[in-house]
A = this chain, B = another copy of it.
Amino acid sequence: MRSPVPDYLQAVLDACADNSVGEVASYIPELGQVDADQLAVAACLPDGKLYSAGDVDTEFTIQSISKALAYAIALEQHGIAGVEEHVGVEPSGDSFNEISLGPKGRPRNPMVNIGAVTIHAIIGDPDDSAEERSQRVLDGMGAFAGRELTVDEDVMESELSEAHRNLALAHLVRSNGTFDADPPVVVTGYIRQCSAKVTVKDLAVMGMTLAMGGVNPLTGNRVVSRRVARHVLSVMATCGMYDAAGDWMTDVGIPAKSGVGGGIMGALPGQAGVATFSPKLDEFGNSARGIRVFERLSEEMGLHLMDVPVSADGVVRARDEVTVDDHAQQRVQLQGALQFGGAESALETMSEIEPGDDTVVVDVSHVTFMNEVSTRMLGDGMKRLKEDGHDVVLVDPESRLPHEDDVTVVEEL
C-alpha cells in the first residue's frame, strides 16, 4: 500500500492555500524579490524519514531561525552557565528587533536580535574575522541539517547595506562589556549566518535533531549534547515566536523559531521535526501561512507539547512465572519507553514480590528506551530483591542496565 502521510501534508497545504494575508519582508531589498506564492511543508521523524509537500526544494535564507542553532553552538562551546552570563532566557514581550536589555544589562533572550547578535559574538574567538566566526556557525548548522550549507551572497550584500539597526544593537551590548569582539565584525558575521540557504526539508531535519536530544536522524551524529538540545527547546518554547509566545504555546504547542525569509522550524521533543515555508509575513514578522499550517498540523496530527500519552501505561508486559530448566521462576517483563513513571510502575510490580530465596527474572529485552533515572531505579530494585534473599536474572541483550556482580545476565531466557 501507499502511505497516506504525504496526502495528509498535501491536504493541509491545500487548506492553507489562501495567500491574501501578510507581506513579504521588504526592509531588505533582495528579500522582496522572492516568489510570494511559494508554500511548502516538511516533517522529519525520529528514524530520519522525511515527508514533504509543496515547494520543497526551494532554497531560501534561514534568517532568524539560525538564532536557535547558533545558540546551541554557543552552548556547546561555553556551557549553559557560561552563556547565561551573556544572554538570559526570559521572554521579553518585545518585538524581534527591540533595542532593549534585561535587568542585568544582558539581552533578555537569544531569540531577539540583540541576543542573537551577542550569541554570534561569543562563538569562536574574540579575534575571529567575520568570515571565520560565521563559518563556524555555518559548519555547525550544517551538522544540524546533515549537509553543507552555503550563503546567498546577494541577500547578504543587501542586508549589509541596511545594517544600521544591528550595528546599534551590537554597539549597545558591546558598550556594556558583554562581549569583546568588534561590533562591525560581529554584525557582518551575523548577517552572513542569517544568509545561509536552506530548504524546508533542511529545517525539518534540524528540528528533528533538536527533538532527538541532539542527534541528527540522518547522519546519526551527535551534534550537541542532550542537555543543550533540551535547553534550546525550552527557550524556543517561551521565546521563539516573539510576542505571541502564549498564543503559540496554547494553540500550536510546538517549540519553534521563525525567520523573515519565510521559514518556520518546529521541534516536538521525541516526536517530530516540522517545517514550513511561505514568504508572506504577518505583523509580528512570522510567516502568515506557516503559522496556519502549524496550527493545523498541531490540531490534526495531535502534535502538541501538552498532549502526550500517559507514559507508564502498559510498561509491565508480563508479571508471571516461567519455568527455566525445570525451575519455576518469577518474571517481571517490561516493554516500551521507560522514564520515571514507567520505572515506578516496574518497581511497584517488583515490590509485590515477597522476600524469599527463589529466582526473579527481570526482562528488559522489549524495552525500547530507558532514561537515566529509570536505569538507576531498576538497578535499585534489583539490589533490593537481592537483599530480600532472591537470586536475580537480568535479561538484557543490549547490556543497558548496570548491575551488581552477583546478578546473572543473559541475552534471552
Contact = CB atoms under 8 A, between A and B. Distances in A.
Interface residues of A, number: 100
Contacts of A66: none
Given A45-B312, A171-B164, A373-B302, A249 B270 contact: no
A302 B245 CA distance: 25
A200 to B, nearest CB: 18
A168 B171 contact: yes
A222 interface: no
A103 B47 CA distance: 44
Contacts of A269: 305-308
A47 B315 CA distance: 12
Contacts of A401: none
A230 B245 contact: no
B271 A89 contact: no
Nearest to A303: B340
Given A46-B312, A381-B1, A88 B246 contact: yes
A384 interface: yes
Given A90-B245, A91-B238, A347-B5, A307 B230 contact: yes
A183 interface: yes
Contacts of A239: 246
A372 B313 contact: no
Interface string A163-201: 011011111101100000001000000000000000000
A337 B90 CA distance: 34
A234 to B, nearest CB: 4
B310 A270 contact: yes
A269 B306 CA distance: 6
B314 A336 contact: yes
A164 B168 CA distance: 9
Interface stretch (A14-22, A31-39, A123-131, A348-356): A348-356
Nearest to A233: B306
Contact of A253 (B234, B270, B302, B350): B234
A3 interface: yes
A336 B339 contact: no
A240 to B, nearest CB: 11
A49 interface: yes
Contacts of A235: 246, 249-250
Interface in A348-385: 348, 350-351, 353, 355, 366, 368-369, 371-374, 377, 380-381, 384-385
Nearest to A373: B302
A47 B306 contact: no
B371 A307 contact: yes
15 contacts: A45-B312, A49-B344, A89-B247, A90-B245, A164-B172, A230-B253, A230-B307, A233-B306, A234-B306, A238-B238, A239-B246, A271-B308, A272-B340, A301-B373, A308-B308
Interface of A: 1-5, 45-47, 49, 80, 88-93, 99-100, 109, 162, 164-165, 167-172, 174-175, 183, 212-213, 226, 229-231, 233-235, 237-239, 243-247, 249-250, 253, 255, 269-272, 300-314, 335-341, 344-345, 347-348, 350-351, 353, 355, 366, 368-369, 371-374, 377, 380-381, 384-385, 387-388
